[in-house]
Structures are given as structure tokens and as C-alpha cells.
Amino acid sequence: MEKAIVYYTKEITPDNLIKIYEKLGVELKGNIGIKVSTGEAGSKGYLKADVIKPLVDKLNGTIIECNTAYPGKRNNANEHMKVAKDHGFTEMGKGVEILDDTGEIKIPVHNGKHLEYDIIGKGFEHYDSFINLAHGKGHAMGGFGANLKNQSIGFASRNGKAYIHSCGKTESPIKCWMTKYDQIDFIESMAEAATAVHEYLKDTNRQIIYITIMNALSVDCDCDSNQGDPVMNDLGIVASLDPVANDQAFIDMVWNSDDPGSHLLRERIDRQLGREILPYAESLGLGTRNYELINID
């Protein structure tokens, strides 16, 4: 497979976010959904409105999310919208839609070892094109979160999240947390779900682009209401048409960093076998780990 192009800018500003989006050279059409994590109530690292609002407004996009499978303030649409409002997401573009508030749909998983299908929010069908706008950080269960996690767990409905977390054993948000599985199976299940979304978009002639903002680099995810402080300095923004390449670029920057705290993020990622999502996603045809990094500064 040819090298994927990954664009990079070191300084995280609204202008640079727009600049790196435009470098991708894709004109997103129709109704644009911008998938972010709205962040659990009490978290600190979610993407802030002052950084992303200018891009969302420029595209007149809608912030899109799905409810969580775990108990919290975002496991139902009413409470989730309150958190989204508190975190500034309802005051940009066309506002916020919780995709599984109106139901869910099953989409095919091809060549998966763990999942027979993926379950995404029904509101997905309201959109013609998408930005997978991820926050790069650690994660207690997945090791790290960026574009692949945002496309798998992120687009999944509440039941879909349970199905991925249980490696295809149950759709129940209650039963999934009592289900035993091997960690590698969960990592691979996320890759299968992310690939299912990619193939569904391709089959329905819709576009998606990938951007990761690498700031507030905590070992914890924005889904953690007790999210810890950042352990290393901000790295910048990467953008690509290839989610595997974009996540690989993020991981490479963490591994190549001489920041004194970077070892804490590396330890979190490897403890959970987080990097294993990359070769497995590549084997499924989702993208390539081989990329060329182009600095646009």
C-alpha cells in the first residue's frame, strides 16, 4: 500500500485547525456531522469550544455523539445534552445531535473475528459527510483514544458500545461489564467496528476525514469524570484521509517525545495493548501504518 499523507501543525489554534482541514483538499458536501467526544461531566480534557468552534461554524456542521454504555451523565440523551451544553458544544454550527436518541441501526462487519455487525446511532443517516475530530489522549480500557476509537466506540449506540466492549457477546449495557474477555479481543473489536463504519460510508458514497488534536495529554480519557491532569506537553494537530496513519502518527509522536512525562502515557497505552489496534486495523484494510508526515507550519 502506498504511503498515506498525514499533515501536521505544532501550534494548536483555531486558525491552524482550519488550515490543516483545508490542506486535506476535500470539499465536504451536504449536511456535515462532526464527531467529537463531548466529555463526561467533571472531565477536563475534552476539545474546547474556543479551538474548534471557528471550524464548526465555517462548515455549519453539527456536533454528533452517542450515549455511553457506562453509568454517568451521558448515558441518556437528556442528560447528555446538558453536559454538551455545559461544555460549549451546543453554541456552535447547527448545535448537537445525540445519534442514538432516535434509535440505532446495524451495519455489516466483514471478516471480523469477534463482531458479526456494528450498531451505530440511527441519526448517522442524517449526514452526507463527516469529520472524525478526535482528542488524542490515554484511555483506561483502550490504552489510547484518537480517530480509531472515536470511529468505533464513538459512533456506536449505547447498545453498540456494549457489543464492542463485550467483544460481540452481548448488546446489554448492564451485562457487558460482567462479561469476561481477553484484552486483545477488545482492541481488535474496536478495529472491526471502526472498519465497519468506514465500509458503510464507502458503500453509501459518503465522505469522512480525520483530525486529531493532541493536547491535554492525560493518561485518562475524557469519559473519566475524575480525569487526571496532563502528563506531557501538547504535541499539535494531525490530519489525514487515513485513520490508521493518523493514529500511527500520534503514537509515533508520543513514543519519540523526550518530554519527561511521556513515559507515563506510553506505559498506559502498552499496559492495555493499545498499539495493537493499528496492525489489526491495517490487516482489515482500514488504512496503512506507512505514512509521510508533512509539516504545514
Which three three-digit cell numbers place residue 178? 460482567
What's the confidence (pLDDT) of residue 72?
84
The burial of 118, by beta-carbon neighbours within 10 Å (0-12 exposed, 13-18 middle, 19 or more buried), is given as: buried
CB 171 within 8 A of CB 159: yes
* Tens digits of residue pLDDT in 44-78: 899 999 999 999 999 999 999 999 998 888 999 99
How far is the C-alpha of 164 from the C-alpha of 265, rounded, in Å? 24
The total domain count for the chain is 1
Domain holding 137, by residue range, is 4-295
What's the confidence (pLDDT) of residue 223?
87
What's the confidence (pLDDT) of residue 131?
98
Whether 1 has a pLDDT exceeding 80, the answer reads no
Whether 19 has a pLDDT exceeding 80, the answer reads yes
The per-residue pLDDT of the chain, averaged, comes to 97
* Tens digits of residue pLDDT in 161-196: 999 999 999 999 999 999 999 999 999 999 999 999
* Tens digits of residue pLDDT in 98-111: 999 999 999 999 99
Q: Are strands 236-240 and 4-9 parallel, antiparallel or unpaired?
A: antiparallel
Which CATH number characterizes residue 76's domain? 3.40.50
How far is the C-alpha of 222 from the C-alpha of 74, rounded, in Å? 12
